[in-house]
Amino acid sequence: MSRDIDPGYGPPPGRPNGAARPDAAVPFDQLSKQYIDGLDVPQMKDPAFDRPLDATDANTKTRAKLIYRDMPLVTVQNTWTIDQCRGALYAHLIGQFFASGLLCDSMLGDDRITSSLNSRASAWLGRDAQFKAANDSDPAKKCLQAWRDWWPRFSGDSAIREMADYGTMMGFSHAQLKWDTSQPNLDYAPSLVPWHPVYTWYDWMLRCFQAIGQDGQIAIIPGNGKWVEFAPFGSYRGWIRGAIRPCVEPWLLRHFGFRDMARFGEVHGNPTRKGYVPMVGDPKEREIFEQMLAGLGSDTALIVPRGVDSADGLGYDYELVEAKSTAWEVHPAQIDRCDMAIVLALLMVNLTTQVEGGSYGAAKVQMDVRSQGSQLDNQTWKSTLYNQVARPFAYLNFGDANLAPWTWWDVKSAGEYSDNAKQFQAVGTAIEVLRRGGVQFKDAEKLRLWLSDKFGLKDLPEFDFQAPVAGGGAK
């Protein structure tokens, strides 16, 4: 390129070290042409770096008729060593999920992990589902009604819950969409069939997950009408942030703590029976006494012969020797600390019973965090269902993916409704006071929008200005 020609971008002519001119960025096509022209560079279409496209296309109906057969999961590993857990996590980090999937199944048998996942899921799945049409058109309303009618069948099984649990633990989860074409009121009725993470791996070249099935490997393309991918931290390397990583160590230590506490109890929980026999006693009597002492069990009654003088050492006797130690305190402390670590990883707050001092304020903060966590789960699933299930549903049944309705759960807490009521009351009181003070608002619509924006009164209905209603005593 000649130095005398001003390309229109970059530093001004004659000042190569000067500052770039504003609004004069280098056009990509010119830059690529400058460096690629004259070079024998093949033009390649790499799917890993292609532009993001709407996977709902003309082939969606063809894909909807396919059914991929998964592999029966008959491999079980329920005993894990430290080295095995580390190996599973190392493989997990590079996108190989066979070992970490089995490890996740084992961890789901832990009471603390299971109860935390139950608490997390019930915070939003236990609420009523809400629906909204794509727009106010008649086709969008018809699509919404069809979606609402099928929703109890679609959400009635455990598929969404299973995907949510594995999505939290592994950082991702997948399900195959099966379409029923035999329903009377729908051409294509969807259902979810979860695909276990053991039989998935991440293809670094194609930048997508691959499913391993009986018929080979299948690229998982979210939203193409055949696959649903729940990835709360994103599809690319989102598994790095799965809860399995922060939970593995406390899970292991927790079980080690129970094991060590049981062993400690075997030694320190059962006192030793120490028997005394005469040095010159009859061997047969000594044997009988030893057998009686060993077989006491829960029957602690035992008659032992003594001499004339109990201190002469000629009689039989026994005593309980208890191992006294405070070392037992380390075991419940270790288990409690592991419990807290697991709950923090899964629920973002510690146990309610562990709020120091019984502070109401601290407990309220925890509940606020829990509420925000359920709202985050709700928003993630709202987007997942819309893009990967509702859009194919609308396309297959109504011919337009943009008619897809929105679905979410009413996760607002009782405190949030109470706060809104107080806020609404405060706003009403303020308007009344201003009106009595002679202030008259000119535009009710502008006031409504301002109140909705500044005071958090979302969807405040329209209202008009009227003369104040007379008090009950007025005539």
HEC per residue, 360-384: HHHHHHHHHHHHHHHHHHHHHHHHH
pLDDT confidence of residue 156: 87
The per-residue pLDDT for range 450-465, each reduced to its tens digit, is 777 777 777 777 777 6
The tokens for 17 are 């070290």
For residues 319 and 401, give the distance between their C-alpha atoms in angstroms, rounded to a whole number: 83
Which pLDDT does position 200 carry in this prediction? 96
Measured between alpha carbons, how far is 52 from 29 in angstroms, rounded to an integer?
Answer: 19
Q: How many other C-beta atoms are found inside a 10 Å radius of the C-beta of residue 38?
A: 7
**Three-state secondary structure call for residue 179:** strand
One-letter amino acid identity for 334? Q
A 10 A CB-CB count for 163 gives 22
Q: Is 356's pLDDT higher than 60?
A: no
| Residue 353 banded pLDDT, cuts 50, 70, 90 | very low
Residue 111: other Cβ atoms inside 10 A:
9
In the beta sheet, which residues pair with residue 191?
Answer: 178
Distance from C-alpha of 385 to C-alpha of 382, rounded to nearest angstrom: 5
User: Among 215-224, 231-240, 295-304, 452-461, where is mean pLDDT lowest?
Assistant: 295-304
Weakest-pLDDT range from 55-59, 371-375, 392-396, 464-468: 464-468
Asked if 362 and 259 touch (Cβ cutoff 8 Å), the reply is no
Least confident of 127-141, 163-177, 253-267: 253-267
Name the region of 388 (left: φ>0; alpha: ψ -120 to 50; beta: rest): alpha
pLDDT, one tens digit per residue, over 294-324 is: 777 666 666 666 665 656 666 767 777 666 7
- Say how far apart CA 162 and CA 173 lie, in whole Å: 9
Axis-axis angle for helices 82-93, 98-107 (nearest 10): 130
Mark 168-201 as b/e (b = at least 16 C-beta within 10 Å): bbbbbbbbbbbbeeeeeebebbbbbebbbbbbbb
Residue 99 has pLDDT above 50, yes or no: yes
Quote the pLDDT of residue 471. Answer: 56
Q: What is the helix (H) or strand (E) element at residue 319, kind and residue range?
A: strand 317-321
Concatenate the DSSP letters of all residues of 121-135 into one string.
Answer: HHHHHTSPEEEE-SS
Answer yes or no: pTM beyond 0.75.
Answer: no
Question: Hey, what amino acid is at 367?
Answer: M
What dihedral angle (degrees, nearest 10) is formed by the CA atoms of 295, 300, 305, 306?
Answer: 130
Q: What H or E segment, with its residue span, contains residue 25?
A: none
Instruction: Compute the Cα dihedral for 211, 216, 221, 223 and give only its sign.
Output: negative
Task: For the chain, state the CA radius of gyration.
Answer: 35
Q: How far apart are CA 231 and CA 170, in angstroms?
A: 9
- List pLDDT tens digits, range 389-420: 999 999 999 999 999 999 999 887 656 667 77
Average pLDDT over residues 219-241: 93
Question: What is the pLDDT, as a whole number, of residue 1?
Answer: 47
Q: Considering the chain, what is the average pLDDT of its residues?
A: 81
Name the nearest CA neighbour of 222 among 389, 403, 396: 389
